[in-house]
Structure 1
Amino acid sequence: MQSKTWIRLAWCWTVMLWVSSLWPIDTTEMPWWWSWSMHIVGYAVLAALINLSSPRQGPSQAWALTLTCGVLIELAQAFIPQREAAWDDLVSNIMGAGLGVWLTSRRVRLALHLNRRNQRQVSARRVDNPEAAHESPSANPSEHRD
């Protein structure tokens, strides 16, 4: 996917997190594990989308942006009736952001490595045979076998 698509998805997910986090609902009836799992999943997805939208910026920037969003949401919840800012929510936000960055950093590093390897192979082909480097695979239909 293109970077613009990841950016759009990250913005949409951020808006969804803000709306769902600031909606005035009673969260006292939820079990603790439900709240923790929702925070971890929500912020893991956000960190992953941010990391995928700008892979060259690095995972620390994705983690910092995700954490900033989590802190701001927790602060805003202090002013919403039936919501409260909680340290344990912030801890689960940090864990989720770390998980999302870790998972996508491995994927991003692999993609960048494969891209560099492919570029080296193309460069090597150009050096070995400059005419063959400009041919596309579909240019010679006799090479295709069913």
Structure 2
Amino acid sequence: MSANRRWWWPTLTLMGLLWWLSSRPDPIGLPLPHPLDWIAHFFSYAALGFCASRASGSWATGWLIASWFGAFDEVHQAFVPGREAGIGDWWFDLLGSGLGSWLATRSRREVLSPD
């Protein structure tokens, strides 16, 4: 898979949105009860891993970008009043970004093949 520079815009936009959401003391709308918050982490970081892998052209690079951003964001949340950082949240960031990165680097033929 080759890198596609156009995917950096969605990657950076998604990073900005995740950062903005985690900077808020109160979640937008109703807070998600546990374990729905982990599901939100999983799918958010799956999208980030997908975009970062498409942008970089590498499963490993996309996964590293998304997973390190997740770790950095968890540390950031520790300093936001009303928010807390959690290793459990980061584990779901890791799992989601891994799946998203893997899906991004599968060839189109593999995705469309009925086998």
**Do the aligned partners of 1:26 and 1:82 also contact (CA within 8 Å) in 2?**
no
**Do the aligned partners of 2:21 and 2:27 also contact (CA within 8 Å) in 1?**
no
Q: CA RMSD in A?
A: 2.3
Amino acid at match of 1:59: W
1:128 aligned residue: none
- Which runs of 5 or more structure 2 residues have no equivalent in the other structure? 111-115
1:45 aligned residue: 47
TM-score, normalised with respect to structure 1: 0.66
Higher helix share: 1
Ranked by relative contact order (alpha carbons within 8 Å, sequence separation 6 or more), the top structure is 2
**Mapped partners of 1:107, 1:85: distance in 2:** 36
1:88 aligned residue: 88
Q: Deviation of residue 60 (structure 1)?
A: 0.9
Q: Deviation of residue 61 (structure 1)?
A: 1.1
1:114 aligned residue: none
**Mapped partners of 1:61, 1:108: distance in 2:** 20
Q: Deviation of residue 69 (structure 1)?
A: 0.4
TM-score, normalised with respect to structure 2: 0.83
1:10 aligned residue: 11
Larger radius of gyration: 1
* Closer/same/farther in 2, CA of residues 31 and 107 from structure 1, 3 Å limit: farther
Aligned length: 107
- Which runs of 5 or more structure 1 residues have no equivalent in the other structure? 111-146
Amino acid at match of 1:99: L
Residues 1-146 of structure 1 mapped to structure 2, 5 A cutoff: 3-25=4-26, 30-55=32-57, 58-107=58-107
